[in-house]
Amino acid sequence: MTSLVDSWRLKVQHKSGFEYAGTVTSSYNEARMWPRNDARQAVLDAKIEVWPPARTYQYEDYWGTVVTAFDVHAGHDKLTVTASSTVETLPPGDLLSGGLDWGFDTDRWYEFLLPTRRTRLNDELTAIVAELRARHDNPQDAAMAVCEFVRSEVAYVPGATGVQSDALHAWEQRKGVCQDLSHLAAGMLRALGLPARYVSGYLHPKPSAEIGESVVGQSHAWVEWWAGRWTSYDPTNGVPIGHRHVLVGRGREYGDVPPLKGIYAGPKSTGQGVEVTITRLR
């Protein structure tokens, strides 16, 4: 059994919403904002509140993500979803040692080898992957080299891209947000022959977080790859997944784990707001 002695306890509040130019009469939405129990985290408490009030329906989707679905039929010009959770997280494990070789079976994870719209590469990137692979004799080292490459070549610039952005777009402008860096890393890991997942979650921004201090956190994304076992890594920050990361969902790309998506009948949306507040409780 893993001891939780070294764990952190994080309280995450994720407030997300839309504003409209007039009254929306009907709206159907799905939130993927509910952290899941996993090998490296335990969810102590979670809830999702919707305004205007709506009854919610929960299910676990194909990827294992907890989905909260709801529809609103009262007229509204603003929709807010607030997810609050308390999660115990572990420090990074012994994740990054080499020593595995390339002879592992990928069949179980076949769908994580295929490119998706947001993780597609071009010839230039494919050639770079081939070069990185040639320079490393085991998959862990090659995967780490990919993550280092992404981090060193593509600058993390908040607001540099939109939600529809993809790996190629970030590569061409050499800047992006964590979503883009993760898409690029996932695409390159797949080109290496490693099944790779895109992970959606939260990050506490301070490695030495004070207990009891609430800070502005962020929705975050990172990657996992399979080389006989899964390894998680945060290519944006160049760190393994640990205390500061709270996992919500995994998929092939952002499109499998959007925090909030929906459709509605009414005037166009004038704004979208996201606020994440994270407090280390212990």
- Binding interface with another protein (CB under 8 A): 26, 28-30, 54-55, 57, 59-63, 69, 71, 73, 107-108, 110-111, 114, 256, 262-263
Tell the smallest beta-carbon distance from residue 27 to another protein (Å): 9
Q: Which is nearer to another protein, 195 or 242 (CB)?
A: 195
Tell the smallest beta-carbon distance from residue 164 to another protein (Å): 13
Q: How far apart are CA 169 and CA 100, in angstroms?
A: 33
Q: Which is nearer to another protein, 55 or 282 (CB)?
A: 55
Tell the smallest beta-carbon distance from residue 149 to another protein (Å): 27
How many other CB atoms are there within 10 angstroms of residue 121's CB atom? 19
Q: Which is nearer to another protein, 190 or 204 (CB)?
A: 190
> Computed from CA positions of residues 203, 145, 157, 19, in that sequence, does the dihedral angle turn out positive or negative?
negative
Tell the smallest beta-carbon distance from residue 108 to another protein (Å): 7
Q: Which is nearer to another protein, 76 or 175 (CB)?
A: 76
Do 73 and 32 touch, CB atoms closer than 8 A? Answer: no
Shortest CA distance to 122 belongs to which of 66, 62, 220, 191?
A: 191
Q: Which is nearer to another protein, 94 or 123 (CB)?
A: 123
Q: What are phi and psi of 100, to 5 degrees?
A: -80, 155
Residue type, 235: P
Tell the smallest beta-carbon distance from residue 114 to another protein (Å): 7
Tell the smallest beta-carbon distance from residue 71 to another protein (Å): 6
Q: Give the HSE-up count for residue 90: Cα atoms under 13 Å, Cβ half-sphere.
A: 14
Q: How far apart are CA 248 and CA 272, in angstroms?
A: 21
- What single DSSP character describes residue 237? T
Residue type, 250: R
Tell the smallest beta-carbon distance from residue 227 to another protein (Å): 18
Tell the smallest beta-carbon distance from residue 230 to another protein (Å): 17
Q: Which is nearer to another protein, 73 or 135 (CB)?
A: 73
185-212 in b/e form (b: 16+ CB < 10 A) is bbbbbbbbbbbbbbbbbbbbeeeebeee
Q: What are phi and psi of 207, to 5 degrees?
A: -60, -30
Q: Which is nearer to another protein, 60 or 137 (CB)?
A: 60
Q: Which is nearer to another protein, 5 or 62 (CB)?
A: 62
Q: How far apart are CA 108 and CA 199, in angstroms?
A: 18
CA dist list (Å): 210 to 29, 234, 282: 35, 22, 9
